[in-house]
């Protein structure tokens, strides 16, 4: 909304500057044309030269403001459609890419802030589709997406990479804070149930993440987080594995799960 107001204010300011230029040109032309007709005629002509542009500018300015506001609202709607996953309502790949680029750029010059990127993958999703049907599978994806979106801040980013895989970008101060958030997300999703009665299933997700303090390419961040996701799957699913990436590329694995305390393993 502030962006809309600033844009409309600037456009209206430019329009009024144009009106002022046209008015001055009209006054100069009127003076040059009517000065030989006497003072009364010249004064009347100058008043018309001033009054008509200024009076007509008011309705044009109102129309311009309303029309621009409507167009910007429509444009925002189109942009949301273009950057939102149709099924789950979270960001699609394009929308998430824009948001995480801003998050990574925000690390420049920062010494106390970092960024945590999580890949969240639904456990046994094919089994849910095969046993309960694709509509229930879609319901599972929607519930997972809604829980992720509801459990993070407005400045964070939640996207769907495809299939049953989601990605979350969370600016945070340290890996411990990030791991606490990842565990909270895992536990919240583990409380979800889809289907009814005997045809129901409890949901769980495996999470792999990467924490960084210095800007890295998203391809590298994704590769590290994806490797940690694979480790979470191998270790039994329904758990988190987070890696802290150092500027030189070295880091530490910090596995966290619902069943075991945090362990620290050097990654070389």
Backbone angles phi, psi at 101, to 5 degrees: -60, -40
- CA 210/CA 220 separation, integer angstroms: 10
Residue pair 33/48 in contact (Cβ under 8 Å)? The answer is no
Catalytic residue chosen out of the listed positions 14, 164, 165, 176: 164
Between CA 99 and CA 227, with CA 157 as vertex, the angle to 5 degrees is: 95
Distance spanning both ends of the chain, measured CA to CA: 48
- Could you confirm whether 176 is annotated as catalytic? no
DSSP 8-state symbol, 248: T
What is the side-by-side order of every strand in the sheet holding 239-245?
Answer: 157-162, 165-172, 114-122, 205-212, 239-245, 251-257, 265-267
Catalytic residues: 164
């Amino acid at each position: 909304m502030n962006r809309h107001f600033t844009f409309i204010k600037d456009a209206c300011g430019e329009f009024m500057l144009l009106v002022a230029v046209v008015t001055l040109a009209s006054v100069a032309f009127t003076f040059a044309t009517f000065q030989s007709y006497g003072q009364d005629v010249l004064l009347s002509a100058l008043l018309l030269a001033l009054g008509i542009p200024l009076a007509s500018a008011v309705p044009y300015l109102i129309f311009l403001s309303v029309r621009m506001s409507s167009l910007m609202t429509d444009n925002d709607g189109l942009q949301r459609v273009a950057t939102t996953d149709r099924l789950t309502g979270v960001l699609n790949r394009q929308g998430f890419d824009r948001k995480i680029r801003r998050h990574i750029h925000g690390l420049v010059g920062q010494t106390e802030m970092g960024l945590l990127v999580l890949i969240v993958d639904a456990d046994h999703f094919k089994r849910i589709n095969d046993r309960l049907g694709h509509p229930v599978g879609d319901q599972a994806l929607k519930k997972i997406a809604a829980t992720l979106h509801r459990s993070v801040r407005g400045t964070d980013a939640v996207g769907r990479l495809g299939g049953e895989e989601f990605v979350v970008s969370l600016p945070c101060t340290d890996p411990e804070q990030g791991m606490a958030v990842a565990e909270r997300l895992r536990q919240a999703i583990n409380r979800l149930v889809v289907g009814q009665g005997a045809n129901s299933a409890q949901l769980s997700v495996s999470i792999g993440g990467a924490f960084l303090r210095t800007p890295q390419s998203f391809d590298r961040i994704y590769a590290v987080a994806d490797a940690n996701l694979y480790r979470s799957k191998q270790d039994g699913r329904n758990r988190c594995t987070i890696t802290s990436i150092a500027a030189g590329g070295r880091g530490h694995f910090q596995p966290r799960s619902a069943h075991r305390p945090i362990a620290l393993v050097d990654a070389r």
